Amino acid sequence: MKKVNNLVILLVWFSLSLSADNCNETDDANMIIEDGNIDLSEKINLSFDSAKSTSEDLELKNIKVTSCKKSSFWSLTAENAEIENENLTIQNAKLRIYNVPIFWLGEISLDEEDSFNIPNLGVTDSNLDISYKYKTKSENSEFVLEPIYSNTKFGLSIDYNFDNGVNNFHLNSLALDDENSSWVYDIDSVINLNDFISLTLDYSDFSGNSLVQDYGFKYLDINRRSLDLKQSVGISFLNKNRNISFFSDDFITIGALRPVSHSKDYITYERFYIVNDWFLDISSEYSKFSNNTPESLEIPYIVYDEVERISRDIEIKKNYSFSTLNYESKFLLSSRDYEIKDTNKNLTISNVATSQIFSLLENKTLKIGFIWSTFKDESSLPILDSYPSLPSPESNISLGSWVGKDRSSNSRKLFIYKNWSNYAFDFSISSNLYEKYNFEEENNIFRKFYDKRPIFFSAQTKNKNLNFFAKGNYSYRESDFMGLMAGVEYLDDKTYLSVQKNNIVPSSYPLQPLDNYVLKFKRDFDNFQIFSRAQYSEEEEIINENVLGIQWEYDCFRLRLSMERARFFPFIDPDFAETSYFDLIYLTNPEVKNNLSFEFELVGLTNILTPIDNIINDGLFN
């Protein structure tokens, strides 16, 4: 409310200084100011013909709000405005450009964090896109209504967000008047009924494929590289040292696979204890899984349609601290019971694992230790909600080498870990002096990533302008990187340039590296900026994403023109006979979206343009 506070203070000052000429001395509750001009903030100026103050509010006549310093390119005008309880409300507001009324905005409230919107314009695959956002705010909520015209179709987008610090609710929805009457919505909410009962809702659904295919990427908050509609509902009870949860997790896949291909209904029960400084965590879970993978898709590992699983885990750990030594002792006991409905088989397995870690030196940055676990053949167990963790120096010394409960660490290793940090760089490294895994019977897509004698590393320099960074693991048995993210970055007052090489093992099946190069560039000139982002696939020898744009700024006006090309868009009902499993996993869409976007912003008023830094770092549609 900085703008409103400044306005109140300045009006009071004006009232005191001008009271001899402009005030009615017979009525102390009313003061009149003629022809005022004040700054609401460093950029926003407000002028008015007259202002009348009472004991409760201030009434302004014929106001004009603008952020233009050199000219009156745009202004927000109204006949009446009112300040009450430090809130500035403008009635019957109009947006004028070169003093010509362009848009009627109705009643609006001016706040330090608020902005107004004008139509967004663009072209997608040679079709015109136009939309307009109406936004209202209260203390704990925000509501945005956006009528849309795209590809000769009319639509409506709604975004509602509520958060009072205890409960939160978010609704995002898009409807389109096409042949399928397409509609999609996403609800994300946590409701705390009291101190120990909470409801969780993360639920999405849609009708009409064309909406998601052609419009969802632009108007919905959906990440194109993991595009699915999640349907999760649950309730949790927390009382002292006990927690019990009932959840149902499902999803609707849009033309591609997810890292986990089963829906899941489950109950978890967890208890926490501290006994003689030992921390004890006992958890149990009963789960029912159903396969969501299309039958026509051939998957390079066994997938069961219906499985029930009971899992039990007991974790015991304690830390000892000395002047030059820290010692962490951890034990993990686990058991799994599977009932496979497809084959009427029952499988049971139990495991014991432990890690003993010693942190040495005065700053405890040198760690040595070992991991030991019982070697059980788990290759016959289903894979339901599990996949290997991404490699890092920290993951190498952890008992949790897999996400999910279908695989144990199944490793025995003697490791060393060291990290350095000073004014010039941050660096950490980890390697195994001895290692052995029990994955010989696993599918090749899992087995090939173990027992490779890897060196895990993470490095980052801290120079003023030019910096290098790298993270991954190098196998000296294979003489190759098993995972790598490395690059160089240059930054000064006007230029940003980054070139990065990615060769990573994503947390999804199959476990194959995703090789690409990423270029990020931005250059500031006196009145304009040039920016670009590009992704090049080394394996396919093709540019998957390319953004090239220019943004011009004069006084309080910004104009952006950008050309956008991307292959990472959802596609509906793929032909599994012609589309490979790997293309489905990586969402490498054979279709290409080409956009030409032109947007403009009235600085200080609309604030609608996505920051350039967000575009070049995250991409257009992430």
Write the single-letter amino acid at 580: S
Mean confidence (pLDDT) of the chain: 78
When comparing pLDDT for 567 and 262, which is higher? 262
CB contact at 8 A, 421 and 439: no
Query: Residues 567-586: what's their mean pLDDT?
Result: 60
When comparing pLDDT for 241 and 593, which is higher? 241
The pLDDT of residue 17:
45
When comparing pLDDT for 99 and 249, which is higher? 249
The pLDDT of residue 7:
42
Confidence check: pLDDT of 224 > 50: no
Unique residue bearing structure tokens 């589309």: 579
Give CA–CA dist 474/452, Å, rounded: 9
Q: Please give the structure tokens belonging to residue 20.
A: 């001899």
Give CA–CA dist 391/507, Å, rounded: 10
Write the single-letter amino acid at 53: S
The pLDDT of residue 527:
87
The pLDDT of residue 412:
93
Alpha helices in 321-431 (DSSP H): 393-396
Domains and CATH numbers, the chain: 2-110 (2.60.450), 115-122+129-256 (no CATH)
Percent of the chain topping pLDDT 70? 70
Confidence check: pLDDT of 42 > 70: no
pLDDT confidence bin for 216, thresholds 50/70/90: low
Three-state secondary structure call for residue 225: helix
pLDDT confidence bin for 237, thresholds 50/70/90: very high
Percent of the chain topping pLDDT 90? 32
CB contact at 8 A, 180 and 214: no
When comparing pLDDT for 25 and 34, which is higher? 34
Give all strands of the β-sheet with 87-97 in edge-to-edge order: 31-39, 45-53, 57-66, 74-84, 87-97, 100-110
When comparing pLDDT for 450 and 78, which is higher? 78
Most confident range, picked from 2-11, 278-287, 446-455, 595-604: 278-287
SS3 content of the chain, % helix, strand, coil (to 5): 10, 55, 35
Confidence check: pLDDT of 457 > 90: yes
When comparing pLDDT for 198 and 32, which is higher? 198
pLDDT tens figures, 152-189: 778 888 889 999 989 999 988 888 887 777 787 889 99
When comparing pLDDT for 483 and 29, which is higher? 483
When comparing pLDDT for 3 and 48, which is higher? 48
When comparing pLDDT for 583 and 207, which is higher? 207
Query: Residues 101-112: what's their mean pLDDT?
Result: 64
The pLDDT of residue 307:
95
Query: Residues 336-363: what's their mean pLDDT?
Result: 93
Confidence check: pLDDT of 239 > 60: yes
DSSP 8-state code for residue 61: E
Which are the contacts of 149, defined by CB distance < 8 A and separation ≥ 6? 128, 129, 130, 131, 155
The pLDDT of residue 462:
94
When comparing pLDDT for 269 and 113, which is higher? 269
pLDDT confidence bin for 2, thresholds 50/70/90: very low
The pLDDT of residue 442:
74
When comparing pLDDT for 250 and 38, which is higher? 250
The pLDDT of residue 565:
81
- Closest to 432 in 3D by CA, of 400, 479, 473, 481: 473
The pLDDT of residue 255:
54
Confidence check: pLDDT of 246 > 70: yes
Query: Residues 257-261: what's their mean pLDDT?
Result: 58
pLDDT tens figures, 500-539: 998 875 544 444 556 789 999 999 998 899 999 998 887 7
